[in-house]
Amino acid sequence: MIVKEWCMYCGECAGVCPRNLIEVRELTLKFNEDQCKECSLCIQVCPVKALQEDK
């Protein structure tokens, strides 16, 4: 997953991840990519489209 620089760390993506793989803390966003099942929920919920799939 790529996190764009316009991420505003609102925490929306962390809230929807069914596996709780996203941690937003102050000005960092951390993914536990190993366990990601690529459901794209976090991508869809981001209000500023800051999450993009890593192709």
**Contacting residues toward ligand SF4, per CB under 6 A:** 3, 7-13, 16-17, 19, 21-22, 24, 29, 31, 36-42, 46, 48, 50-51
- How many angstroms separate the CA atoms of 47 and 34, rounded? 25
- How many angstroms separate the CA atoms of 29 and 21, rounded? 10
Alpha helices in 1-55 (DSSP H): 12-16, 41-45
Question: Closer to ligand SF4 at the Cβ: 7 or 26?
Answer: 7
Question: Closer to ligand SF4 at the Cβ: 29 or 55?
Answer: 29
Q: How far is the CB of 5 from ligand SF4 (least distance, A)?
A: 10
